[in-house]
C-alpha cells in the first residue's frame, strides 16, 4: 500500500491517520513531539522539526503524497517537497496565504468576497492615519494566532498603537469589531481535477475564543446557507486549491455574510462529519491527496458537536464520567489520547445526532451538563 505523509501529529493528524488506514494506506507523521496524538496511529513517526532537511528527505523518498494538518507549518518545506516531485496538497502557496492574515484577507477581497473592514499593519506608521473606519476594533497578529490568542480589543487609536507596541510591533491586522448575529463555517474538498464538494454549513459557538459547540445544519435560513457554500466554493476555485479547506464566516444583521478566515485543513467545526455524513472530512483529505473523487458529503442526520476541553478533567488527568455518553443511544465520543489535560486544551469531542438541530442541541447540552 502507498505511504501517505502528514505534517503535524495533533488530533487532526490522528483522525487523518485513522481515515487513511481505514482506506488501506500507510501513514508517516512528521511532528516534533515524539508523543504526538497521531504517534500511536502512524506506521512511521518522525520526531523532528517541520524544516528538518533529513526528515523532509525521508518524506520525499518514502511517501506517495503529503498533506498538512497544521497551518503554521513552514510553507517552504511544502514547496521543497513538491519540487522533489511529490504530490503536495494543499500547495505551499495556499498554506502561505492562509497562515498570514494580511495575505489571507487581501486574497479574499481580491477574489471579490467580503471581509470585515481591515487595515494591514506592517509597522507603527500604518497606525498613524485615521483609524475610525476600524474602531472599535481588534488588533490581531498576522501570523501564529489561534483560539483567539494574539488578539487585543481596542476602542481608540491610542489603544491600538499601545497594543501594537505591546505586541512588539509584529505585523498585524486592525479589524473592525462587527456585531455578529452568528458564526458559521463551510468546509470544502477540492481535487486536482477540480471536482469540489461542500459539507453542510455548521453554526459555531465559541467560549473564551475557543470553539465550544457546532450545530449542523446552521440555523440561518436556506438562502444564507446556500450563499456560504457558494462563497466557500468560489474561494477554493480562486486559490486553485487541492485538499480540504475550512472557511469561517460572520453572519451580520441584514443577512450579510463576510469571511473571517480560512484554514487549509480539516477543521474542528467539521468533526461532526465523523458520524453525521457518509464521508468524514479526514477521508476527504485522503481522497483529495490521492487524486480520488470526493466522497458524498450530505448530512445523514442533523448533528451537534461538543468540544471536550481539559477543563472538564479532574486532578491527575482524571477523565470525566462517560456513563451518560455511553448510554445515550444517539451520541458518540471521540478522544484524542492526550496524556495530559490542561485548561483550554482540546482533549476530545462528542457528537449527538437527532431529527433536527434543535433537538440535537438540547440533548447535547444535557449530556454536557453531566460531565
Ligand atoms: P481560530 O481558533 O478559529 O483559528 P483565531 O485565533 O484565528 O481563531 P479569529 O477566528 O480571527 O481568531 O477570532 C476568534 C473569534 O473572535 C471569532 O470566532 C469571533 O467570535 C471573534 N471575532 C474575531 N474577529 C471579530 C470581528 N471582527 N468582529 C467580531 N468578533 C470577532
Ligand atoms: Mg484562525
Ligand atoms: Mg477563527
Please give the ipTM for the structure prediction. Answer: 0.98
> What's the grid cell of residue 115?
471581509
Question: Are 211 and 171 contained in the same domain?
Answer: no
Question: Are 337 and 202 contained in the same domain?
Answer: yes
Protein residue with its CA nearest to atom 13 in ligand 1: 148
Instruction: Note the pLDDT of residue 169.
Output: 84
> Using one digit for the tens of pLDDT, what is the confidence trace for 60-100?
999 999 999 998 999 999 999 999 999 999 999 999 999 99
Q: List all residues whose CB is within 6 A of at least one atom of ligand 1.
A: 116, 138, 140, 145-149, 175-178, 180, 183, 206, 209, 248, 260-261
* Residues that constitute the known binding site for ATP: 101, 140, 145-151, 175-178, 183, 206, 260-261
Question: Are 229 and 343 contained in the same domain?
Answer: yes
The total domain count for the chain is 3
CA-nearest of 195, 212, 204 to 260 is: 204
Question: Are 237 and 366 contained in the same domain?
Answer: yes
What's the whole-model pTM score?
0.97
Question: 11 lies in a domain?
Answer: yes
Residue 333 belongs to domain with CATH number: 3.30.470.20
> For residue 172, what are the domain limits?
117-176
CA-nearest of 262, 261, 229 to 244 is: 262
> Using one digit for the tens of pLDDT, what is the confidence trace for 190-219?
999 999 999 999 999 999 989 999 999 999
Question: 285 lies in a domain?
Answer: yes
Question: Are 145 and 26 contained in the same domain?
Answer: no
Question: 108 lies in a domain?
Answer: no
Question: 93 lies in a domain?
Answer: no
Question: Are 186 and 167 contained in the same domain?
Answer: no
Which atom of ligand 1 is nearest to 149's Cα?
A: 6
Question: Are 215 and 291 contained in the same domain?
Answer: yes
Distance 74 CA to ligand 1 centre (A): 23
Protein residue with its CA nearest to atom 17 in ligand 1: 209
Instruction: Note the pLDDT of residue 147.
Output: 85
Pick from 139, 159, 176: which residue ends a domain? 176
Question: 107 lies in a domain?
Answer: no
Which residues are within 8 A (CB) of 307 and not within 5 positions of it... i.e. 6 or more apart?
A: 210, 211, 212, 213, 268, 346, 349
Protein residue with its CA nearest to atom 25 in ligand 1: 177
Question: Are 39 and 165 contained in the same domain?
Answer: no
Instruction: Note the pLDDT of residue 161.
Output: 96
Q: Is residue 287 within 8 Å of residue 266, measured between CB atoms?
A: no
Residue 132 belongs to domain with CATH number: 3.30.1490.20
pLDDT averaged per 10 residues in sequence order, the chain, 371 residues: 96 98 98 96 97 97 97 94 97 97 98 98 96 97 91 96 93 97 98 97 96 98 98 98 98 97 98 98 98 97 98 94 95 96 97 98 97 91
* Residues that constitute the known binding site: 101, 140, 145-151, 175-178, 183, 206, 260-261
Question: Are 234 and 289 contained in the same domain?
Answer: yes
Question: Are 171 and 215 contained in the same domain?
Answer: no
Question: 310 lies in a domain?
Answer: yes
Instruction: Note the pLDDT of residue 134.
Output: 98
> What's the grid cell of residue 1?
500500500
Instruction: Note the pLDDT of residue 95.
Output: 97
Question: 110 lies in a domain?
Answer: no
Which atom of ligand 1 is nearest to 146's Cα?
A: 6
Question: Are 203 and 286 contained in the same domain?
Answer: yes
Amino acid at each position: 500500500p502507498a505511504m501517505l505523509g502528514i505534517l503535524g501529529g495533533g488530533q487532526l493528524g490522528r483522525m487523518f491517520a485513522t481515515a487513511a488506514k481505514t482506506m488501506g494506506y500507510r501513514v508517516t507523521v512528521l511532528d516534533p513531539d515524539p508523543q504526538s496524538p497521531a504517534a500511536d496511529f502512524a506506521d512511521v513517526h518522525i520526531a523532528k522539526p517541520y524544516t528538518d532537511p533529513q526528515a523532509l528527505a525521508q518524506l520525499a523518498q518514502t511517501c506517495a503524497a503529503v498533506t498538512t494538518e497544521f497551518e503554521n507549518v513552514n510553507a517552504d518545506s511544502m514547496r521543497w517537497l513538491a519540487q522533489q516531485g511529490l504530490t503536495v496538497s494543499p500547495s505551499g502557496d495556499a498554506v502561505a496565504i492562509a497562515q498570514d492574515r494580511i495575505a489571507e484577507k487581501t486574497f479574499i477581497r481580491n477574489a471579490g468576497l467580503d471581509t470585515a473592514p481591515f487595515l494591514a499593519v506592517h509597522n507603527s506608521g500604518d497606525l498613524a492615519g485615521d483609524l475610525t473606519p476600524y474602531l472599535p476594533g481588534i488588533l490581531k497578529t498576522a501570523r501564529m494566532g489561534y483560539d483567539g490568542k494574539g488578539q487585543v480589543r481596542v476602542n481608540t487609536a491610542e489603544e491600538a498603537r499601545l497594543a501594537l507596541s505591546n505586541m512588539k510591533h509584529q505585523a498585524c491586522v486592525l479589524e473592525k469589531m462587527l456585531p455578529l448575529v452568528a458564526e458559521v463555517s463551510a468546509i470544502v474538498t477540492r481535487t486536482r481535477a477540480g471536482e469540489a464538494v461542500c459539507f453542510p454549513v455548521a453554526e459555531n459557538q465559541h467560549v473564551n475564543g475557543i470553539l465550544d459547540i457546532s450545530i449542523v445544519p446552521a440555523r440561518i435560513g436556506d438562502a444564507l446557507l446556500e450563499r456560504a457554500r457558494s462563497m466557500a466554493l468560489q474561494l477554493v476555485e480562486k486559490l486553485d486549491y487541492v485538499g480540504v479547506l475550512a472557511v469561517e464566516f460572520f453572519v451580520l444583521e441584514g443577512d450579510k455574510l463576510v469571511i473571517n478566515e480560512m484554514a487549509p485543513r480539516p477543521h474542528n467545526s467539521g468533526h461532526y462529519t465523523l458520524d453525521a455524513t457518509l464521508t468524514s472530512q479526514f477521508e476527504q483529505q485522503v481522497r483529495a491527496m490521492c487524486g480520488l473523487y470526493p466522497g458524498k458529503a450530505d448530512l445523514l442526520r442533523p448533528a451537534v458537536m461538543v468540544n471536550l476541553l481539559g477543563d472538564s478533567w479532574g486532578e491527575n488527568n482524571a477523565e470525566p464520567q462517560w456513563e451518560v455518553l455511553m448510554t445515550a443511544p444517539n451520541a458518540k465520543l471521540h478522544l484524542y489520547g492526550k496524556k495530559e489535560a490542561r485548561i483550554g486544551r482540546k482533549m476530545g469531542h462528542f457528537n449527538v445526532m437527532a431529527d433536527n438541530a434543535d433537538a440535537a442541541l438540547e440533548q447535547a447540552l444535557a449530556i454536557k451538563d453531566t460531565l
